[in-house]
Amino acid sequence: MKVIALFISVFITVAGYAQNSLNNYKYVLVPEKFEIFKTENQYGLNTLTKMLLEDKGFTVFMANEELPPQLAANKCNALKADLVDKKGFFVTTVTLVLKDCQGNIVFKGKDGKSREKEWQAAYDEALRDSYTALKSAPYSYDSTALQQQVAVAQQQPTQQVQTTAPAPAAQPQATLADITGMLYAQATANGYQLIDTAPKKVLTLLKTSLPDQYIAEGGPAGGIVFKKNEEWIFEYYKDNKLVSQKLNIKF
C-alpha cells in the first residue's frame, strides 16, 4: 500500500507540474510533417493535431503559416507539437507530445491505441485517444508567467556578476568558445539572433540575397554563416587567416 501511495503522490506532482507549465503558453506550432512519417500531413494527422489543440484553447499555427509579430520574433513563446509512435502487432500506438523551444517535454499525453486495420482510421483513433489526457488537463493561459520566467533568466547573469565579481564589466563579451554549443535562432526583422543556453546573444545573422547565407556580426568575429552539406558553417578571418567553424543551430 505504501508503494501505491508513493506512486500516486509522484504522479500527481508530475502531472501538476506539466499542467502549470501549459498555462505559460498561448501558442502551439504544428510541423508540416511529423518525423515518424515520410510525407507532409500523412493520414491528415497534422491537420487533426491542429484542430484538437485549438479545441483545447491554444492558438495554433502550421509551420508554413504567417506568424504574429510576437511569435515570429521569438518562437520560444510557443510550444511545438510532436507525435511519437510505438511499434506493435495488431495495435497502433501514438502519443501526443508538447515541447518547448529547447526540446524539453512540457506535456505528454497518454499512449493512444487503436486496433483498426486501416492506417488512416488507426492513426486517427489513436491520436484522438492520446488527446483525451490533454483534454482533461486544466489549462488557462497566464500571459504573465512566461514573461516573468524570461525576465528572471535575463537578469540572472547580471546579478551573478554583481555578487561574485567586483570588475566594472557587468557581462563578459561573447568569445569564439561561446559558439561551439547549441545555439537557438530567434527571428528578427532582418534575419536572426543566435542565443546560447545562458541565455546570451552570441551572434547576429543578417539576410543576404542568397538563401541560407547570412552576414554575421555583433559577435567576437565578423564573417559569414552559410549552409553546406546540411551543416551550418561560420567563416571569418583571424590573424589574416580564414577560419571555418561548424555551428549547431536550432531554428
Pick from 136, 165, 197: which residue ends a domain? 136
Q: Tell me: do 117 and 225 sit in the same domain.
A: no
| Residue numbers of the domain that contains 225 | 173-250
Question: 62 with 85: CB under 8 angstroms?
Answer: no
Q: Tell me: do 6 and 129 sit in the same domain.
A: yes
Q: Tell me: do 88 and 195 sit in the same domain.
A: no
Q: Tell me: do 76 and 11 sit in the same domain.
A: yes
Query: Which range among 46-55, 58-67, 191-200, 233-242 shows the weakest confidence by mean pLDDT?
Result: 191-200
Q: How many domains does the chain have?
A: 2
Domain assignment present for 165: no
Domain assignment present for 181: yes
Query: For the chain, what's the residue count?
Result: 251
What is the pLDDT averaged over residues 20-29?
Answer: 86
Domain assignment present for 177: yes
Domain assignment present for 106: yes
pTM of the model: 0.53
Q: Tell me: do 28 and 130 sit in the same domain.
A: yes
DSSP H helical segments within the chain, as ranges?
2-22, 45-56, 69-73, 119-136, 145-164
How far are the Cα atoms of 20, 176, 195 from residue 192, in angstroms, in the given order?
A: 30, 18, 10
Output the average pLDDT for the chain.
Answer: 80
